[in-house]
Amino acid sequence: MFKLLSKESNIFSIPVYIGFLLLVVIIFNILNFNTYEAIVAGITFLGIALGYFCFHSIALNYQTHLPLFLYTFLIFGLYPGNLDIGIAVSLLTNSFLLMLLTSADEDIRKKSYVLVGAIVALNFIFLPTTWPMAVFVIIHVIATSEKISLNLFRFILGTVLIAFSYFALMFFFGFTSWNIDYFPFRKMKLVTDYTDLFPLIPIVLMLIYAVYDHFKNYNKKSPVSRYKYTFLLVFSVAQLVSIILYMNMSYEYLLLLAFPVSIILSRMLRFLPKYWMQEVSLWLIIVSLVTFKAGTYFDLF
């Protein structure tokens, strides 16, 4: 299977994966279908579908099917069906952020910070626990911009515009009291029961090895590859902070890591020295996700 998935990919393969994704979303929502669930499912589908095009934007997949397949299987294994609208919106905004911040056109990246600030603010409105994403973007601006002050101003301007619009809209509808849920620091609940996550241990170990191997061979990478991989790692850390602090038993938070994990794992598999290691590791990932899915869906653990 690894050799098959390592063949050159093209744009026509993406609709096939998106079609499978649409089928998964429909199947998991058909039993509790209503207007609200349909809207959430639609936002979820759009956010995850845009993730497929982010592979082309970040260009770390070496034009193979492997990361697309892993991304699809991660979504299948981690998608619970009845997704919270905050997570759904976060998946959508994350896809837009990835497409903007990893664009090959440098002019687009420089001029998109107002839009990036607006997207981050919108993400916070729907899911305040994703505040680490704002920290990630600020770090990205400082680390990659020549005009740091100007781009930070653009980012803050986009954030303020959305915040002002939100307050104006809420005031118009008569909501004049402050919701304390927008202070996420008082709602931190660290994961205390890891039983349901045991099937994912092989994937966690592979991720640790992948990061170790990357830094071990850091000087052998091209400057572009190092930059994009570092971007991906910092992006993953931002998502991981939200997961550690706020996930508790809400395992749908793990969907926020589906895109970066698919790239990190696909690169790890590609650079394993032996073919049998690649094949065994790929099947181990599949079995781990299927076991996790069965455990959470049928409450086996």
pLDDT digits over 130-173, tens only? Answer: 899 999 999 988 888 778 888 899 999 999 999 999 888 888 87
User: What are the pLDDT digits (tens) for 167-190?
Assistant: 888 888 777 777 776 777 776 777
Q: What is the pTM of this model?
A: 0.88
Above 70 in pLDDT, residue 36? yes
User: What are the pLDDT digits (tens) for 88-118?
Assistant: 999 999 999 988 888 766 777 777 899 999 9
Q: Are 58 and 228 in contact (CB under 8 A)?
A: yes
By C-alpha distance, which of 7, 36, 6 is closest to 282?
A: 6
Q: How confident is the model at residue 298 (pLDDT cuts 50, 70, 90)?
A: low
Model pLDDT, residue 237:
93
Above 60 in pLDDT, residue 26? yes
Q: How confident is the model at residue 123 (pLDDT cuts 50, 70, 90)?
A: very high
Model pLDDT, residue 289:
92
Share of the chain above pLDDT 90, in %: 31
Q: Are 214 and 229 in contact (CB under 8 A)?
A: yes
Q: How confident is the model at residue 33 (pLDDT cuts 50, 70, 90)?
A: low
Model pLDDT, residue 204:
94
Model pLDDT, residue 4:
63
Average pLDDT of the chain, as a whole number: 84
Model pLDDT, residue 255:
92
Share of the chain above pLDDT 70, in %: 89
